Amino acid sequence: MSVSVAVPVGIAALLRDIVFPPSCAHCHCRTGRHGGLCPRCWSSMRFIERPFCEVLGTPFSHDPGPGILSAEAIAHPPVFDRLRSVALHEGIARDLVHDLKYRDRTDLAPMMAGWMVRAGGEALSACDAVIAVPLHRSRLFSRKFNQSAELARHVARLSGKPFSPRALHRRKRTAQQVGLTANARALNVRGAFAVPESCLPDVFGRRIVLIDDVFTTGATVSAATRALKRAGAVEVTVLTFARAFSGPI
């Protein structure tokens, strides 16, 4: 007969810290707690803060006043309703994305999602569901997990919103977007997404927060947004961890 002994949470946490001391998620130097960055790494992150364009989330060099849109948002309105991102896709932010995506560092997802919840703000508070940009099943098989779904799962948990992992389907395998021009990216993902008929109730009439790891040209999230809006979504907010810019910011 085996007897299980419950270990108090405080003692379990102490034992964990002895075996696995808290360290910076990026440079691995000792820190005061798990799931964070050291002061040096934190200070080098370029977080996207207000003032920024209310639609595209592009930072302004000065504060033009509330509700102001960027020239790009006025000239080329996106199909999604707004975009929010945590940080510029450079330095440590880029390393965190690559560690999660290519080095199986799924332990980073809760920390990154916590920052995304802060960046999502009002859009997350008002949404009805959180949906991730899906991978094609063949790519999911080779990669073993979808980094966007990992982020979305934790964003949903931290914000108290439903996560709908099957509401968006990638119905065709596309080429890797890396290295493609903006036009080639858009053509590559055209018609790539659909909402399964069985999941229409999860989308129709709903306000959706769509999660991806990085926003580059917007081709992927735009194609995904079109599928969601064809299925009846009334609002789509794109929320990413990082945002890439072609010029200086």
**What is residue 243's predicted lDDT score, i.e. its pLDDT?**
97
Parallel, antiparallel or unpaired: strands 207-215 and 235-243:
parallel
Say which CATH class 45-243 falls into: alpha beta
First to last CA, the chain: 65
Parallel, antiparallel or unpaired: strands 193-194 and 169-170:
antiparallel
Summarize pLDDT for 18-30 with one digit per residue, the tens: 567 899 999 999 9
Q: Report the pLDDT averaged over residues 181-190.
A: 75
For 194, the enclosing helix (H) or strand (E) is strand 193-194
Summarize pLDDT for 38-85 with one digit per residue, the tens: 999 999 999 999 999 999 999 998 888 888 999 999 999 999 999 999
Q: What share of the chain is helix, strand, coil (3-state, %, to 5)?
A: 40, 15, 45
**What is residue 14's predicted lDDT score, i.e. its pLDDT?**
52
Instruction: Quote the pTM value.
Output: 0.89
Could you give the CA distance from residue 50 to residue 60 in angstroms, rounded to a whole number?
A: 8
Distance of CA 181 to the CA centre of its chain: 22
16 or 116, higher pLDDT: 116
By CB atoms closer than 10 A (0-12, 13-18, 19+), residue 93 is buried
The pLDDT-based confidence of 32 (bands split at 50, 70, 90) is confident
Enumerate the domain spans of the chain: 7-44, 45-243
Whether residue 199 has pLDDT greater than 70? yes
